[in-house]
Amino acid sequence: MSKPTIKQIAEALDVHPSTVSRVLNPETRHRIGDELVARVLKAAQDLHYSPNRIAAALRTRRSGTIGVVVPDIGSPVFPPIVLGIENALSRHRYIPIVANAGGDKARQTFIVDQLLARQVDGLILATAERNDPVVAHCLAQGVPIVMVNRSDDAGRVSSVVGDSRQAMALAVGHLHALGHRRIGHVAGPSSLSTGHEREAGFLQAVADLGLSASQCPVERAPAYTEDAGQAACAQLLSRRQRITAVVAANDFLALGCYAAVRAAGGSCPSDLSVVGHNDMLLMHAVSPALTTIRVPFYEMGTRAAALMLGALDGSIATTARTLLTPELVVRASTRPL
């Protein structure tokens, strides 16, 4: 049995096919009277009509889909971001196609090309590095792009990120208020804006509080993992000038600091106060409950989607960098010196 068409619905109601088409399109439905809208929608339901999305995409050059590329879907950071994107897009009848691309640039380029081959209308990238060839590749294709959680140095693309410098000011200020003066930093990868900005924010906070840079050392972790955090924190603990507190660039690194303190025969916060970043799922349930910086990841997703929709409808013609306000969440992993 062949699928019913707009023309058949129009014939059944004795109206013009263009009228039916306007009713079936939520963006033009308001132009038609309520009584006729109800009749058309009922007839479409009775005839089991479903729109031909492929044909519509060919007519409008829009597929109604947005590619969302994340580096690690298993990380607790990305599900709330994706949920925010999905909810914001759905209100405008767009849907996301989510792809887990990892950290390899060749694979990320492959994923992007596959999404473009499926005619996504835009790309929201959570994978970008500060100087990212994949972003240059996307720009060369002429596709609208928004970065989420990370940004690039050149400001070529709109982005929505947490205010990492303010986050570090909150973290260092909290430890300073508790009496700590020898505060270390386990930094994230410097190739990522999150690692770079948080390290810069830490150093600025140290300077603003008049602390000695030599007594507030930085150790960079090559990845945002617990193992990398443990190794970096062990290096900080081995220094002659013993730190009493550490600010980690994310919560996984902070958990690595817990492990490093235990391996050295100590405990947190008795021997080392620890502050994380992100307030990922279950950070209140670890032992000790982690003092950390809360980032509004769901809002990050909704804001990124809004930027994408603005790029698609032409209401946002320039690049914009949106900074979201962080919040300090004090728990049991920090204590007065």
Question: According to the model, what pLDDT value does residue 160 have?
Answer: 98
Question: According to the model, what pLDDT value does residue 197 have?
Answer: 98
Q: Does residue 298 contact residue 78 with C-beta atoms inside 8 Å?
A: no
Cα–Cα dist 222/82, whole Å: 25
The contacts of residue 321 (CB under 8 Å, 6+ apart) are 151, 155, 158, 159, 161
Question: According to the model, what pLDDT value does residue 58 have?
Answer: 46
Question: According to the model, what pLDDT value does residue 49 have?
Answer: 78
Cα–Cα dist 305/251, whole Å: 26
SS3 141: helix
Domains, the chain, with CATH or none: 6-51 (no CATH), 61-161+297-323 (3.40.50.2300), 164-295 (3.40.50.2300)
Residue 179 backbone class (left: φ over 0; alpha: ψ -120 to 50; beta: rest): left
Question: According to the model, what pLDDT value does residue 75 have?
Answer: 94
Q: Does residue 251 contact residue 278 with C-beta atoms inside 8 Å?
A: yes
Q: Token digits for 210? A: 């008049």
Cα–Cα dist 19/8, whole Å: 12
Question: According to the model, what pLDDT value does residue 34 have?
Answer: 87
Give whole-number Cα distances, 122 to 65, 149, 309, in Å.
Answer: 8, 17, 9
pTM over 0.85: no
**pLDDT values of the chain reduced to their tens digit, one per residue, 337 residues:** 567 888 888 899 999 988 988 888 766 787 888 899 889 888 888 888 776 654 555 455 668 999 999 999 999 999 999 999 999 999 998 999 999 999 999 999 999 999 999 889 999 999 999 999 999 999 998 999 999 999 999 889 999 999 999 999 999 999 999 999 999 999 999 999 999 999 999 999 999 999 999 999 999 999 999 999 999 999 999 998 899 999 999 999 999 999 999 999 999 999 999 999 999 999 999 999 999 999 999 999 999 999 999 999 888 878 989 999 999 999 999 999 9
